[in-house]
Amino acid sequence: MYLTKDEERMLNGEMGYAARKSMEILRALGDIYGADLLIKVGSVQVAGVSYHNLGDAGLEFLNELARDGRVKVLTTLNPAGMDLENWQNLGISEDFAAKQNLIIDAFKRMGILISCTCTPYLIGNLPRFGEHVAWSESSAVTFANSVIGARTNREGGPSALAAAFVGKTPRYGLHLDENRVPNVHVKVNASLTKLSDWGALGYVIGKKAENKISYITGIKEAELDELKSFCASVVTYGAQPLFYMQGITPGAENQPLPRESVTVEDRDIKEAYDNINDQVTDIELVCVGCPHCSIKEIAEIAELLKGKEVAEGTEFWVATSRTAKQLADRRGYTETIEQAGAKFACDTCMAVAPLKGRFKSLATTSAKGCFYSRQNKMLTKMGSLRECVEAAVKGQWT
Ligand code: F3S
């Protein structure tokens, strides 16, 4: 891979430890994937923030980089393992909180915005159409590529950090036109009536498209919350963080319609629910906000919870960004939600908080949430916001 004089100086260690480490990572990646050079990125989004996933080795790695590493572009963070302000309320241990705070301190020293959300595009990290970025959270990567029309590979935590310190990423994969051509036409002939149907649709398309890039037709309209749910699901159950949706993806009309095709019918959506839903009635945790809730979803939850109470023995978490929560505070949604006994889980989510062994069953709106909660040994139910609120109030899925 061609390096400029400055990049070579970084690689030689003339610009400090973090710059050298970063250039080593970027050059190795570039060599593996056949990149010709490094290109500038407009922003970075870093995953691998929870102490639950990083452990002490990860903390040490970050502390080393934080000695002299300072980000060169807008850099935001994925969810951490706890609500940074209100972790006691979520039952997080003091030991875990202490370690998580050390990780956050390291990111702060690097100059990273402590946003802790998987919806960076809702809180100010919003790329332009065609802009190259280096993001790592899979749902956000898919949203950036497919809804915004920006260009990013699915970075790992270290390669995203390296891109942040250098301000560049190797040019390969989804940064190149030739790798962004759709190769399977997905004809959707199913009705989507509630938010969770979009997660089910992502499940079906993820599986049917296998490792191909989908060109999706048949969807007349899609709201932002539906798209973010679909993005999370399609990349969790499939392989590609890029799809084209006719009428939604900017520039979709310039892509060729692939010859190979698959269809999605109502029966596929039903089958997806059958596969995602376990045989369970008693619900110990209801968690909505995967990806993190928008203010619109929080408003809907507040409306549904008005005058109700979360059942004893059940917890109801609303996972969202701190920015959305602050807006909810001002609009009175927080008061309504907390009066009903539900809790905000800002900065974190059901997949990265240390939940294993704490809850046996989960209800959620999110197909991706079910995937990760099963890894945490929970039985799962997926349904609409209304069904989730009902499950929280009754302590049961009916
Ligand atoms: Fe976000 Fe966590 Fe879901 S990172 S997409 S809320 S699993």
The Å distance, Cα 12 to ligand 1 centre, comes to: 38
Given this model, what pLDDT does residue 339 score?
98
- Contact 302/336 with Cβ under 8 angstroms? yes
Does 349 contact ligand 1 (Cβ within 6 A)?
Answer: yes
Query: What's the confidence (pLDDT) of residue 218?
Result: 98
Whether the CB of 291 sits within 6 Å of ligand 1: yes
Q: Which residue has the tokens 């935590």?
A: 157
Q: What is the pLDDT of residue 249?
A: 97
The pLDDT tens digits for 302-344 are 999 999 999 999 999 999 999 999 999 999 999 999 999 999 9
Locus of tokens 């949706």: 245
Looking at the CA of residue 232, tell me the nearest atom of ligand 1.
5
Amino acid occupying residue 107? F
CB of residue 139 inside a 6 A radius of ligand 1: yes
Q: Is 351 in the pocket of ligand 1 (CB under 6 A)?
A: yes
Establish whether residue 232 lines the binding site of ligand 1, counting it when its CB lies within 6 angstroms of any ligand atom: yes
* Ligand 1 near 118 CB (within 6 A): yes
Q: What is the pLDDT of residues 3-54, one digit of tens each?
A: 999 999 999 999 999 999 999 999 999 999 999 999 999 999 999 999 999 9
- Determine the residue type at 28: A
Whats the size of the chain, residue-wise? 398
369 CA → ligand 1 middle, Å: 7
Report how far ligand 1's centroid is from the alpha carbon of 360 (Å): 19
pLDDT tens for each residue of 214-232: 999 999 999 999 999 999 9
pTM above 0.85, yes or no: yes
The CB density around residue 248, as the number of other CB atoms within 10 Å, is 16
Write phi, then psi, for 3 (nearest 5 degrees): -120, 140
CA–centroid distance, residue 65 to ligand 1 (Å):
26
Whose Cα sits closest to atom 5 in ligand 1? 291
Asked if residue 106 lies in contact with residue 80, where contact means CB atoms within 8 angstroms, the answer is no
Cα–Cα distance list, 50 to 135, 180, 232, 293 (Å): 17, 31, 19, 19
235 in Cβ contact with 118 (< 8 Å) = no
What count of other Cβ atoms lies within 10 Å of the Cβ of residue 34? 11
Amino acid 374: pLDDT: 97
319 CA → ligand 1 middle, Å? 9
**Atom 3 in ligand 1: residue holding the nearest Cα:** 290
Pocket lining: 235 vs ligand 1, CB cutoff 6 Å: no
From the CA of 9, how far away is ligand 1's center (Å)? 38
Expressed in angstroms and rounded, the spacing between residue 14 Cα and the centre of ligand 1 is 38
How far is the centre of ligand 1, averaged over its atoms, from the C-alpha of 291 (Å)?
5
Regions of the chain where pLDDT drops below 50: none
